[in-house]
Amino acid sequence: MDRISDLERKYVNEALDNAFATSKNSVFNTRLEKEFAQKFGMKYAIGSSNGTATLHTAVAALGIKPGEEVIAPALTMASSSFGIVMAGVNPVFADSDRETFQISAESIEKCITPKTRAVMTVALYGFCPDYDKILEICKKHGLYLIEDNAEAFGARYKGRLVGTFGDISSFSFQASKHLTTGEGGMLLTDNLELADEARRFGCLGYGSVGATKQKITRNDIQDPAYFRHVSVGFNYRMSELQAACALGQLERSDELVANFKACAKIFDEAVQGQNLLIPEKAPEGCDPSYWTYCCVLNTDNPQKDWYAFRDLFQKNGGDPYYAAWKLSYQEPAFQNIVHAQPGIWQSYEPGLCPNSEYLQLRMIQLKTNYWNLDECKAQAEILHKTIDEFQR
């Protein structure tokens, strides 16, 4: 299967033919947003330059203020909490479940303070958290739910697509994601006011744009009496070229997601009947879309064994695979924030999120974006052989 097909090429060429003329400069953005919202049965989709910008936008659009707090997992790409910090808001890091690797509802509850305004879940590695429990907590404490689904397009929870649970939900179209346009992002919400705010925030604070209106009209901007900016906004707009490619990917999304899942199934079979690599477990009701195939290396000495297993796998012909990111609070960026941003009460010291720290040292993330499944099968055989050899 092709990662990028003739359909994306056709749309990108059409966008080029439109030559970015003012009258045609949101043709593909409009189509993409409409079809994306329809796919999820949601009212509003708002395109963005990337999936970090969307998270920043989401926190800002919810009106969460400096000094207030949003709870997010520590085990995720730093963009999740960057989105919070970029809005001047304090992140509070919650721990993950040791078996599902997802943000744990119990840990979220322990992080709540009078300043908490929202929970940001991350549907990690194409799996998803226990939304039932998390939504119950949000309801009980009057908190918003922001979903970061950069890695989970096409995953489902109890039959419903991930992205339909939160007040606002974010996706990324960066190169490794299920759908890609190189760089890109999308927000989804059913709330008109929130959609209006999000659009304005990412579109330079123009007063006349909104949930489904991406551009200011020419008549308005040509009028010397016209005030354009009702607030200070960022320029997080998606380009027509990005939108054209993303539209093609969206229309092919079923086959693209099916390919990620097919790769995962092949790895699933390769790790049966052994205890060295423990694959990520889906929470009850979760039908994952497998952004990657994640396992924990079951060892007491991860510092040595992670590298030894990786080296043996590659010596046997295995493709390089990823580790987990450092936990967000372990990164220098966040260690420095402790001193720079007032009101942060967590220590950011070792032991803050013990399960996440355990998982981070042991994580093995195998690629699931083989567009030729025979290549994936060959990798799975190498994995099987490496597991055998490593245990001898």
Ligand X SMILES: Cc1ncc(COP(=O)(O)O)c(C=O)c1O
**CA-CA distance, 76 to 80, in Å (whole number)?**
7
Could you tell me the end-to-end alpha-carbon distance of the chain, in angstroms, rounded to an integer? 38
Among 12, 77, 120, 353, contact with ligand X (rule: CB under 6 A):
77
Q: Which amino acid is at 251?
A: E
Catalytic hit among 34, 139, 140, 177: 177
Q: Which stretch binds ligand X (CB under 6 A): 16-24, 107-115, 146-154, 273-281?
A: 146-154
Q: By CB under 6 A, is residue 239 in contact with ligand X? A: no
Among 150, 243, 247, 270, contact with ligand X (rule: CB under 6 A):
150
Return the closest-CA partner of residue 49 out of 195, 201, 166, 213: 201
What's the sign of the alpha-carbon dihedral 340, 342, 344, 349? positive
> For ligand X, which residue has the nearest CB?
51
Q: What is the DSSP string of 107-147?
A: HHHHH--TTEEEEEEE-GGG----HHHHHHHHHHHT-EEEE
Q: By CB under 6 A, is residue 128 in contact with ligand X? A: no
> Is 177 tagged catalytic?
yes
Question: 166-195 mask for ligand X (x: CB under 6 A)?
Answer: ------x-x----------x----------
Closest approach of ligand X to the CB of residue 170, in Å: 7
Q: By CB under 6 A, is residue 356 in contact with ligand X? A: no
Query: Which lies closer to ligand X via its Cβ, residue 253 or residue 386?
Result: 253
Q: 134 with 107: CB under 8 angstroms?
A: no
Length of the chain, please?
Answer: 392
Both tokens assigned to 208: 């006349």
Q: By CB under 6 A, is residue 102 in contact with ligand X? A: no
Query: Which lies closer to ligand X via its Cβ, residue 294 or residue 387?
Result: 294
Query: Which lies closer to ligand X via its Cβ, residue 107 or residue 172?
Result: 172
Q: By CB under 6 A, is residue 46 in contact with ligand X? A: no
Return the closest-CA partner of residue 168 out of 198, 211, 213: 198
What residues line the site for ligand X (CB under 6 A)?
Answer: 50-52, 76-77, 79-80, 122, 148, 150-151, 172, 174, 185
Residues taking part in catalysis? 177
